[in-house]
C-alpha cells in the first residue's frame, strides 16, 4: 500500500515500518496461579509484543496480569512468573498482541 499526503509527497509505502493489532481479546482469571495461551500465528518475540490493559473499575490493591510472547503463542499469567511469593491477580483484562512489520 502507498499513501500520499495532501501535498503529493509519499508518506507510507511497502518499505515503511508499521504495527498491526493481530489479537484483541478479554482474559479472565479466578483465584489461583495459572496461565492461558492464545494462538498468534506468525508472531513471536522478534516481531511483536503483547500487553494487557485493565478494563472497567479496579482498585489500587489489584495486581496486573503478566504477558509472555513466544513463537506463535501469547501467554498470559495471573501472577509474576519467576517469583514464588507473587500475589495472584484476578478479574478481567484485555490482551492486545501487536506485530511489527
Calculate the alpha carbon distances from 45 to 5, 71, 99 in Å.
33, 7, 9
Percentage of residues in the chain having pLDDT higher than 90:
59
Domain ranges, ordered by start, for the chain: 17-100
Give the three-state DSSP class for 72.
Answer: coil
**Phi, psi at residue 44, to the nearest 5°?**
-155, -175
Q: What is the pLDDT of residues 10-36, one digit of tens each?
A: 998 888 878 899 999 999 999 889 999
Per-residue model confidence (pLDDT) at position 46: 94
The span from the CA of 74 to the CA of 72, in Å, is 7
Amino acid at each position: 500500500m502507498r499513501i500520499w499526503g495532501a501535498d503529493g509527497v509519499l508518506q507510507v509505502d511497502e518499505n515503511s515500518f508499521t504495527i498491526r493489532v493481530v489479537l484483541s481479546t478479554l482474559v479472565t482469571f479466578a483465584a489461583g496461579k495459572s496461565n492461558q495461551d492464545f494462538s498468534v500465528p506468525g508472531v513471536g518475540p522478534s516481531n511483536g509484543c503483547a500487553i494487557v490493559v485493565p478494563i472497567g473499575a479496579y482498585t489500587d490493591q489489584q495486581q496486573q496480569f503478566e504477558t509472555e510472547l513466544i513463537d506463535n503463542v501469547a501467554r498470559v499469567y495471573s501472577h509474576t512468573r519467576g517469583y514464588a511469593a507473587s500475589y495472584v491477580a484476578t478479574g478481567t483484562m484485555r490482551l492486545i498482541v501487536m506485530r511489527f512489520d
